[in-house]
A and B are shown apart, each in its own frame.
Chain A
Amino acid sequence: MSGPTRDRLRPARLAVPDVLRTGAVGLRTRPVRALLSALGIAIGISAMVAVVGISSSSRADLDAQLETLGTNLLTAENGSTMFGDEASMPLAAEAMVDRIAPVDEVTAVGRIPDAGVYRTSKIPVAETNGLVTYAARAGLLDATGTEVASGTWLNDATAHYPAVVLGSLAAERLGIGSAGPDTQVVIDGRRFTVIGVLEPAELTPELDSAALVGWPVARDELGFDGHPTTLYARADEDHVEAVQSVLAATANPEAPNEVDVAQPSDALEAQQAADQALTSLLLGVGAVALLVGGIGVANTMVISVLERRAEIGLRRSLGATRGQVRTQFLTESLLLSLLGGVAGAAIGATVTLGYATTQSWETVVPAWTVLAGLGATVAIGGLAGLYPAIRASRLSPTEALAAP
């Protein structure tokens, strides 16, 4: 036996599993309380994960949409003259725009004024349903990325005959479910056969409420003057801005200021930006919930330390150092909030999955959200547990043992 005075008396370090097991004692002995205080954290984290997840999923859906629709579509639309009348682009506008080198394809529609679209000739003229008739070039569908829902698109032959393709909204308002040889509408007093109905046009929603007829038939039958009112141009991806800057001057060289140029994908992006502002607000609400959850954990820990003084005294008598008591309660607090954090992240991801599924979006829960959420719970657990843990460790063993 070595002399006791030479004994170094070094306290043993607890193995990590023992630290965890000891930290979980409070959770095991008071499961309901642990569950309730973890719930506070879970609500905060799930709110934040769901908000970010849903907005990311929506963003991913938009990106996918833009991917298929392309962001290189530009429109040049008749603006107004300086007297407030509607301006008019020259007949050669299409051909001129086509000569801009980076323009891959150009197409046009021309609005036919006062050509209302009606289901039958019995409908009063004033009930236009907000529908507009356009003369459309054959290339319109390709250029705008719009799909046909039923029937067919206009071709060189049908463009000469009284045939019409309806936008999705126009078909709905006229009560037409699908195209067919027996389905006719009345345009400007003449019967037109509905040969096609379009899907909603994501980039060019103005086509949704349109009745589209061939360019030749419009001139022959509907008194169309042949001047395009809107040009659709697909530009080379790398030169969209350059094309945008010269588009007005090219379409209407005499009065470039009477042409409104736009990039339709901008509108979708702007809508997304508006959603983003709401996301920030909701994220703030989630953060407040998380803070309240953290205070709940701190409260639980303070009470836990008060109630378990006898246990603390016993552990000190068994040889626990102040540091080990502190670690025990800090671990408990961390486990508590981590429990809430993991549950919250799972709930948030599930909510995102559910919402994205109902919107037929792809579910995107960014890893950084989950990691940031768990990081926040660890920080909150540490902060909430620090003061109670220090109080527990400062307790004198004799006072602790005297507690009932």
Chain B
Amino acid sequence: MIGSRGPEPMIELDDVRKDYAGGVQALAGVSVLIRRGELVGIVGPSGSGKSTMLHALGTLDRPTSGTVRVAGHEVGRLSDARLSALRSRYVGFVFQHFHLAAGRSAVDNVADGLLYTGQRIGERRRRAALALERVGLGHRMRHRPHELSGGEKQRVAIARATAGDPPLLLADEPTGALDSAAGAGVMALLRGLNRDGTTVVVITHDHDIADSLPRRIRLRDGRIVDDER
């Protein structure tokens, strides 16, 4: 049993740098360790490298140098296919602008989140329904995105990200497009998921939200300037 030895690492970044063409350095040597079960906020002004860091954490992008380990896998050594498998099993993403498929019902949007896990359509729909119940949208299954409020859309997106019970949930400005009430609801949902054992990393530039989180990593110019608990 691992629990007796304390939470094991979920994500390890070691001296991660990311340079873009044109000499822009988005990450200038970032090292951080996030353990299973943590709820972490990554905070910083725009241009501070938050998004680049989220992409590195979520294995969507490979760093120019340094190592990223997610759930024990060294990302730099994995092929595209294995990285994709890693994302489908370990990582759920929530985006500022939801990225829901227009014209498809909430339950179909959520079920599509499980497409690349290889489950059959019946199983995907069943789990999608469960995930929607969990985010309090059991009564909105058949509604399409344009029939939902912003907060409801983001909750559908969270259901999609968590329908496969990934151990890691990455949220990129999840409240950025919502009013404060809806934003509070979404944050409460993320806290609840964290209580149930999911490691949650939230990127935000909202200091009120950041201050409500147990751990805050502050970024500026691609460097960690503060890591407080």
Is the C-beta of A396 less than 8 angstroms from some C-beta in chain B? yes
Closest-CB distance, B94 to chain A (whole angstroms)? 10
Asked if B61 contacts A11 (CB within 8 A), the reply is no
Cβ-defined contact, A12 with B99, below 8 A: no
Question: In the complex, which range does the number of interface residues on chain B fall in?
Answer: 20 to 34
Residue of A whose beta carbon sits closest to that of B118: A12
B72 touching A3, Cβ below 8 Å = yes
Query: Size range of the interface on A?
Result: 35 or more
- Chain A residue nearest in CB terms to B100: A314
Chain B residues with CB below 8 A from A10, complex form? 81-82, 85
- Point out the residues of chain B lying under 8 angstroms from A4, CB to CB: 71-73
The stretch from B108-116, B147-155, B202-210 touching chain A is B108-116
Which residues of chain A are within 8 angstroms of B95 by Cβ–Cβ distance? 314, 401
* A interface: dominant SS: helix
- A3-B72, A4-B72 as given contacts; A398 in contact with B61, CB under 8 Å: yes
Check B81 against A11 for contact (C-beta < 8 Å): yes
Find the residue from A4, A5, A318, A397 having the highest chain B CB count within 10 A.
A318
CA distance A13 to B95 in the complex (A): 26
Question: Is the pair A15, B120 in contact by a Cβ cutoff of 8 Å?
Answer: yes
CA distance A28 to B102 in the complex (A): 11
Is B188 engaged at the interface, CB distance under 8 Å to the other chain? no
B103 in contact with A29 (CB, 8 Å) = yes
Cβ-defined contact, A317 with B80, below 8 A: no
| Residue ID in chain B nearest A323 by CB atoms | B81
Per-position contact with B for A28-43: 1 when CB-CB < 8 Å, else 0?
A: 1100000000000000
Q: Judge whether A319 and B116 touch: CB under 8 Å.
A: yes
Contact A398 B103 (CB under 8 A): no
Does B44 sit at the interface, judged by CB under 8 A? no
- The total of interchain contacts (Cβ-Cβ below 8 angstroms) comes to 104
Query: A397 near B73 (CB under 8 angstroms)?
Result: no
Least CB separation from B115: chain A residue: A18
A130 to B78, CA, bound (A): 92
B117, CB-defined interface residue at 8 Å: yes
- Closest chain-B Cβ to A298's Cβ sits at a distance in Å of 24
Q: Which of B78, B81, B93, B118 contacts A317 (CB 8 A)?
A: B93
> Nearest Cβ distance between residue B67 and chain A, in whole angstroms?
14
B102 surroundings in chain A (CB, below 8 A): 29
B 1-26 to A, binary, CB cutoff 8 A, 1 in contact else 0: 01000000000000000000000000
| Chain B contacts with A in 64-95, Cβ cutoff 8 A | 71-73, 78, 80-82, 84-89, 91, 93, 95
Determine the residue in chain B with the shortest Cβ distance to A17. B121
Which residue of B78, B81, B102, B115 has the most chain A CB atoms within 10 A of its CB atom?
B115
Contact yes or no, A320 B99, CB < 8 A: no
Q: Known contacts A9-B86, A28-B103, A316-B60; is A321 also within 8 Å of B72 by CB?
A: no
Q: What are 9 contact pairs spanning A and B, CB under 8 A? A: A3-B72, A11-B82, A14-B115, A314-B99, A316-B87, A318-B93, A321-B85, A321-B116, A322-B81
Taking beta carbons and an 8 Å cutoff, which residues of A are in contact with B? 1, 3-5, 7, 9-15, 17-18, 21-22, 25, 28-29, 310-311, 313-324, 396-398, 401
Interface residues of B (CB under 8 A from A): 2, 55, 58, 60-61, 71-73, 78, 80-82, 84-89, 91, 93, 95, 99, 101-103, 112-113, 115-118, 120-121, 160
Q: Please name 6 further chain A to chain B contacts, defined as beta carbons within 8 Å, in addition to the given A9-B86, A317-B58, A324-B116, sorted by A numbering.
A: A7-B73, A14-B118, A22-B115, A316-B60, A317-B60, A398-B60
